[in-house]
Chains A and B, each alone.
Chain A
Amino acid sequence: MSRALHPGADAVQQKGRLAANKWLLARRGSQLSILFLFLLGPWFGVWIVTGNLNSSLVLDVLPLTDPYILLQSLVAGHVPELSAITGALIVTAFYVLVGGRVYCSWICPVNMITDAAQWLREQFKISGASSLSRKTRYWILAFTFILSIVTGSIVWEIINPVSMLHRGLIFGMGLAWIIVLGVFLLDLLVSRRAWCSHLCPVGAFYSLLGNNSLIRMRADNREACDDCMDCFMVCPEQQVIRTALKAINGAGPVITSSNCTNCGRCIDVCAKDVFHFGLRLNNKVNNDVSDSNKFSDKTVTS
């Protein structure tokens, strides 16, 4: 139970530096290689993926469309062509299966910005407590749809930092870096994980999408937990862990909250190998009270 200098120090000692960061590295690899795939075209003329995260075409055949933006377009009164609908269905099916917020931790380029802010925050020991509710993003999500209905245009795209950064890198940034810088400073100075875990409606949408996703983080080895709190320290959505890890109200070992981003950082930093990726099936403990975990999110806030 010695307090380590930083979360994950014990794991590094136990497993080695590489193994204690493998999911983080895999995630960075995923984020960067997806970005690189998009950049291959404009940089080297190799068009494997065309477009951007809002809508793209892979190898000239496979359409992929962000269901969130297409839904905004739909409520704004536009009936899209089949290509966009197909693309959105494919993307939706993928995230329903693997977990909606996999988008946030494995694909979204803003995640690298906010992770950097969080890292600096820890280095400089900035601890601005905030009263920002994690539900704010759902309200913003609702408002983006309402604004789309009222104005008949896709309003959120005017400032959406996610598409702005990604599109900016591929098509030219303009002054979009100001918005990205804004997100960075917000996360660095104002509040811990302010953007991705409190405000971003894209993440909120994808969390709803993956509400019943098959692939989940599991704490099957939770008896080994020594309460070092490392997982809690690194988790961008700290509220999701406790229920499953501590079997609150007899909860099963699966982290069922749709806001878990499946980033796998908890696996990395845990010296006791409590966590692993698995399916949401078999979420039973000895007694049959696992249903009560549905409401367990409320017990821990921000």
Chain B
Amino acid sequence: MNTQPTKGKNVANHSRRKFLLDSARAAGAASLVALGVGLYSRQAVSLPAGAIRPPGALDEKDFLGACVRCGLCVRDCPYDTLKLAKFGDSGGVATGTPYFTARDIPCEMCEDIPCVKACPTGALDHSLEDIDDARMGLAVLIDEENCLNFQGLRCDVCYRVCPVIDKAITLEMRHNVRSGKHALFIPTVHSDHCTGCGKCERSCVLETTAIRVMPFELAKGELGHHYRWGWKEKNRAGESLVAPDVEHRYNLPQGQSYDIEGEGLIMNQGKDPASSDSPFSSNPLDTLNRNSLNDGSNGSLSKQGGTRK
């Protein structure tokens, strides 16, 4: 009679021990898996430069928490632009997430943005209603050495194909130093209008494109947060913020003045140079020549002559 409860206790002890051991083992195995996956996931948080997210995609970090990798955006893209990243061969795009390669098929910037509408989770932000507000990336003219326009040729293809022409890309005229007499028309991307659609990258005539859409964090610099552009602050405030502007003084012949923000050199303000009160000729060279001939005996260089004695 006495052995029965003891046996029961032993069994209970044994099963409790087994339960604890099992649990510990399970937890151990699971944490190993979790550790591996966690470490592996650290590698996949940044989007590789060659891959572009669809329009409206959240910041990469938020995107990876929001995208359920369903591919509905891919299916609704009428131009087969979008692809789902495959495990292992997509250059580091998180597996199953949508992206496109501009050089293959760029985004055609559909006005009704079907990919965004198709997204069930909002990883592609549904508040994007005007495709011109999309910021998939930023085009960067990355190779000035090979860009034909930088050599003075009139390729202009990236500029011509841009869906936001004259806003996202403009041609800026510069002097062509090489020929000495021609102009360069430099394709210049403006980040406040470029959607990152990649049509410029797609159509660059070079063997390897000179202009590329890149993720913003690669394409854009950032000012020191304390830094202000003086002229912008001055414009905004209506006056200089540091100290009253010192009036510029120019050592100009009488009758001439200089307007730094406007006309530049202003001559004589209506006076006839011949009838001037000035002892100097209107041609500065006359003054210089006279001094060298007279050995500095009079006039404007007297101070210099004095030190010479």
Contacts and interface: CB of A to CB of B under 8 A. Distances in A.
A155 to B, nearest CB: 5
A131 B25 CA distance: 8
A3 interface: no
Given A77-B65, A81-B121, A147-B34, A133 B95 contact: no
B72 A56 contact: yes
B307 interface: no
Interface string A128-159: 00011111111110111011101111111111
Interface string B266-304: 000000000000000000000000000000000000000
12 contacts: A73-B68, A78-B58, A135-B22, A136-B26, A139-B31, A143-B31, A153-B41, A155-B41, A173-B87, A178-B88, A179-B87, A298-B19
A235 interface: no
A167 B120 contact: no
A243 interface: no
A139 B64 contact: no
B246 to A, nearest CB: 53
A59 interface: no
The 4 A-B pairs with the shortest beta carbon distances in the complex, nearest first, are A174-B86, A175-B88, A139-B30, A76-B65
B29 A139 contact: yes
A157 B37 CA distance: 10
Contact of B95 (A52, A138, A147, A158): A158
B134 to A, nearest CB: 18
B86 A54 contact: no
A291 B156 CA distance: 80
Contacts of A185: none
A301 B22 CA distance: 9
Interface in B49-91: 58, 61-62, 64-72, 74-75, 84-90
A239 interface: no
Interface string A173-191: 1111011000000000000
Given A152-B65, A153-B61, A167-B84, A87 B30 contact: no
A54 B68 contact: yes
A172 interface: yes
A144 B75 CA distance: 28
A32 interface: no
B30 A81 contact: no
A164 interface: yes
A135 B26 contact: yes
Most buried by A among B75, B87, B120: B120
A119 interface: no
Given A78-B66, A78-B123, A298-B15, A146 B34 contact: yes
Contacts, number: 187
A84 B88 contact: no
A50 B119 CA distance: 12
Given A81-B121, A167-B71, A158 B86 contact: no
Nearest to B84: A171
Query: Size class of B's contact patch?
Result: 35 or more
Contacts of B84: 167, 171-172
B45 interface: yes
B122 A170 contact: no
B26 A155 contact: no
A137 B26 CA distance: 8
Interface residues of A, number: 66
B40 interface: yes
Nearest to A164: B87
B163 interface: no
A148 B30 contact: no
A212 B25 CA distance: 28
A179 B90 CA distance: 16
Most buried by A among B40, B58, B64, B85: B64
A136 B86 contact: no
Contacts of A133: 22-23, 25-26, 29
Contact of B65 (A50, A73, A159, A175): A73
B120 A80 contact: yes
Interface stretch (A62-70, A252-260, A272-280): A62-70
A286 B122 CA distance: 55
Most buried by B among A65, A171, A301: A171
A41 interface: yes
B241 interface: no
Interface string A283-302: 00000000000000010010
B195 to A, nearest CB: 22
Given A135-B23, A171-B71, A164 B96 contact: yes
A30 to B, nearest CB: 21
A155 B121 contact: no
Nearest to A180: B87
B90 A57 contact: no
Contact of A81 (B61, B87, B95, B126): B126
B115 to A, nearest CB: 13
A140 B30 contact: yes
B203 to A, nearest CB: 27
